[in-house]
Amino acid sequence: MSFDKSYSQICGTVQEELEKLNAELEKSVCGDTPLHSAVRDFLLAPSKRIRPLVVFLYLKANKIEVSNAHIKLQTVTELIHNASLIHDDVIDNGKLRRSQKTLNSAFDNRLAVISGDYILSVTLRKLAEFNSPELIKIYSSVIEKMCTGEIEQNFLRYKITDIAKYIEKSYKKTGALFESALKASIFLEGLPLENAEFAKLFGIAFQIRDDLLNITGQDNTKVSADIQDGIYNAPVIFSGSADNPSAGIEKTKSLLSNYIERAKQKISNLENNRYKRAMTELLDILKNE
């Protein structure tokens, strides 16, 4: 079964919650200018919604009802993620995202940057409704990590680092938002915050998979762009050369498998129900494509 088909089936286990999330996203953008309409379309364009998916599955695997509060928190997660994508498109001069024009392409860089900032302002408004310094701390910390990851990546351009630095970058740029998404929801339930380690490991695995697919998949243009821009990820690090990243594929696959197995260990003590099985399947399809 293809990744997309398997993923769609997994999403089906929490379809109601994902639909509520999309409705909350749609309500989040106020205003009737062409830019507001474009931002709304961007937020609602087909997307994996993988961060909320992981959280919803984890909560339901623990027999926790996904309340409106959890929906709002995962809306904050998605808003932060999408703001970062808009800013990334400005940095990378991207032209297409989710099969449609990027905001910087449809308008200009100035309005695209403002759009990303606007989305982040919406997250502040939504978080203020919880009246919780801890939730603000969780999400402000992850935004800082994401920005730091981008900054450090820039200063490491054209340098082949070690795997430890690569994992740290993968955590800051990707894993931290997965971790914070789950941490915020389990905080509402009074669960130990260290339980969010599962989402952290999942997020790092997700990033490793993405870097691997940039070498083994069909998007060879992105491979060339990353390497030309001096962004050297796991395959390049393992191969020891930007000229032959394919030589690092097998070691990158082993690294991916390691993080997938570690993530599985974090949920091994959960009762065997359909949501735990869905999480396990989600982890498995990360390495089966």
At 146, is the secondary structure helix, strand, or coil? helix
Report the percentage of the chain scoring pLDDT > 70. Answer: 97
Distance CA(209)–CA(99), nearest Å, equals: 21
CA atoms within 13 A on the CB side of 64: 23
Q: Which domains, ranges and CATH numbers included, belong to the chain? A: 3-288 (1.10.600.10)
155-211 per-position pLDDT tens digit: 999 999 999 999 999 999 999 999 999 999 999 999 999 999 999 999 999 999 999
Q: Which amino acid is at 159?
A: K
pLDDT level of residue 287 (50, 70, 90 thresholds): confident
209-232 per-position pLDDT tens digit: 999 998 887 554 555 678 888 999
pLDDT level of residue 98 (50, 70, 90 thresholds): confident
Which DSSP letter does residue 63 get? T
Distance CA(170)–CA(67), nearest Å, equals: 30
Q: Cα 230 from chain centroid? A: 22
**Which residues touch 34 (CB under 8 Å, ≥6 apart)?**
none
Mean pLDDT across the stretch 251-266? 98
51-81 per-position pLDDT tens digit: 999 999 999 999 999 999 999 999 999 999 9
Taking phi over 0 as left and psi of -120 to 50 as alpha, with beta for the rest, 135 belongs to: alpha
pTM of the shown model: 0.95
Strands (E), the chain: 96-97, 100-101
| CA distances, 264 to each of 120, 170, 199, 201, 202 (Å) | 32, 19, 10, 9, 9
Q: Of the candidates 55, 52, 103, which has an alpha carbon nearest to the alpha carbon of residue 79?
A: 52
Helix (H) or strand (E) holding 186: helix 176-188
